[in-house]
Chains A and B, each alone.
Chain A
Amino acid sequence: MKRITIFMLLLVLTAALAFAGSQQESEPEAAAMSDGPQMGGVLVFARSGDSVGLDPGRETDGESFYGSRQIFDTLVEFKPGTTEVQGALAESWNVSADGLEFTFNLRPGVKFHDGTPFNADAVAFSFERQMDESHPYYDHGPWKYFGGMGMGGIIDEVVVVNDLTVKFVLTAPEAPFIANLAMDFAAIVSPTAVALYDEEFPSNPVGTGPFKLVSWTKDDSIVLEANKDYWGEGPYLDRLILRVIPDATARYLALKAGEVDLIDFPSAEDLELMAADPNIELIQQAGLNVGYIAMNLDKEPFGDVRVRQAMNYAINREEIIEGVYGSAGQVAKNPIPPTIWSYNDDIEPYPFDPDKARELLAEAGFPNGFSTDLWAMPVARPYNPNARRIAEIVQAQLADIGVEIEIVSYDWGTYLDKTDVGEHSMAMLGWTGDNGDPDNFIYLLLSADSAVPPAMNISFWRNEEFTNLTLEAKRVYDQDARAKLYEQAQVIFHEEAPWVPIAHSVVTVPVLNTVHGFVIYPTGSRVFQRVWIDQ
């Protein structure tokens, strides 16, 4: 018995000693001097959940796209770190004078991982399976993203002009169309592989991308290997492993132990520790999202612009960022995040000014305030990590100007159903951009067209001037001209104040300092073709 106790004691002591010892050992290694990308190596990317499927047309979740983005290419792609579009599988394209025909010149000599040649037929196949109900593989859907972006209504037909030329005929001019083609759902799939694997294609994806699928262990890891015949830059890695580690702190510990090279969704509490760790580098960028409080204009008293402005003066956004987002958020003043072109930085945000708010309320006929409801989402979203907490802060802030808030919440599905039809007076919601085009925020979330139940515009703000600007911006193809229209629209939005914009979250990706060339894409993609590690 005694021996056991002594043994246990020794064990604990050794553990404690070794623990202390290893703390000292982890001195920063001299950064490897390097002149350029080095070939080879295996990179492990730890993320919070598994991909649902790897057919980019079928899926809607980010985890699925993390996988499919490595395997597939799109006709056009976003320049690294921006929302600007450049050629990918299409080398160039031109638009007809009436804005109805996009003709793409495809990259010659590209092959899918299964050896199938990439050509105009493959392009037509990839789109027709999502839009043509008589297509043999249409039933592989539902094609949720294709439908969600309204592509069925935008594309009239896809015409194969010749082997390396394909033409998209649109039903009406739609400037954001080109950005839609850079999205994951618009990836080009191997027609041979779809026919071969049929319903099992989402587990056996075949594209033209920088990596090929080797194996997929459910809820554990996806192993990819370099496509040696890749047409573009890279890949430099031999293999890329996407590993699932659901708990944020466990992900951080795995990074610290050197078991993984790069992690997703770090927890706010661990960020400080990581910032202090010489072996870890934090890569940050403002996310492509906005979290807001929408005021329902169909509910009294929010039809009055003075009341809406008063809310904007009375809510202290800094306090919300500090209390809820920490370093993972920045104050929002516009409906689009600063990473999107046409962001109007000349707009002066409403300052925190309760006196001004009271004054406006008095003018509007509410000198003693009023009672209303504020809806808080039950789930954490990228744009709003804790709606309930924000609601409580807002409740306290508005109480100060005499506005009494009742906080309302439902399960997520019901919440969306009820806000869609405008049962709320004030509701929190947000949006994560799809294609990096301002249209995807401004038209979708705020135009009068979107204020029809089930509505995306849950303020039910129907401003004709604003809506006309957004419609015109769809028809004009010159980006500078479009940017002017959106800048103007943001001014109207600011004056009319249908929302209290709250925050844009900041995306942080912690990496080991042996990892180089990793860039955060505003659209949320994780791209590894240009990433390399010290050998």
Chain B
Amino acid sequence: MTDFNYDQTLHLKNLLSPDAIAEIDGWIKKYPPERKRPPIIAALKVVQEHNGNYLTEELMQAVAEYLDVPHIAVYEVATFYSMFHLNEVGKHVISVCNNISCSLRGADKVIEHLQNRLNIKVGETTDDGVYTIKTVECMAACGGAPMLEVDKVYHENLTEEKIDQILSDIAAVELNSKEMSNVEAKD
């Protein structure tokens, strides 16, 4: 992973992989060239994804510098939209809807089960930094209530068994990536 413990060099190109930079450049092309702010949201998302799911002020500054906009323009966007995390969160953020339809269909039981399984409360992250549980507002999947989103995938019509399956799938991915990094370390 890229090391973000930087001193002076805030250039986004030094912080992100060429692929990530290309992704941001793709977004820039969607808007009139004289407009510099429209890609801010997309750029912040790319950066957040490459920084373990959260943003730092340093990274926001790097985005501002890359897009040639004032720092405050990036900061106000990062603090306004709920998908941006301004504090450290887990590698897998489990977003559980607890709006009306999901509540009517047992969102509280989903939250309770997740809290018991992971031994954390809503808003907390497990000690190993793998999981965060958060509650979110309606995600437009009320026909499949109760639902949650994790790692960009919606899971609907949740039952305790389904939740257990989701958690063990994530655990398997984690184990796999650990083994991969062990192999790399040996090389």
The judgment on whether A and B are partners is: no
Q: What is B's interface to A at a CB cutoff of 8 Å?
A: none
A: which residues have CB within 8 A of B? Answer: none
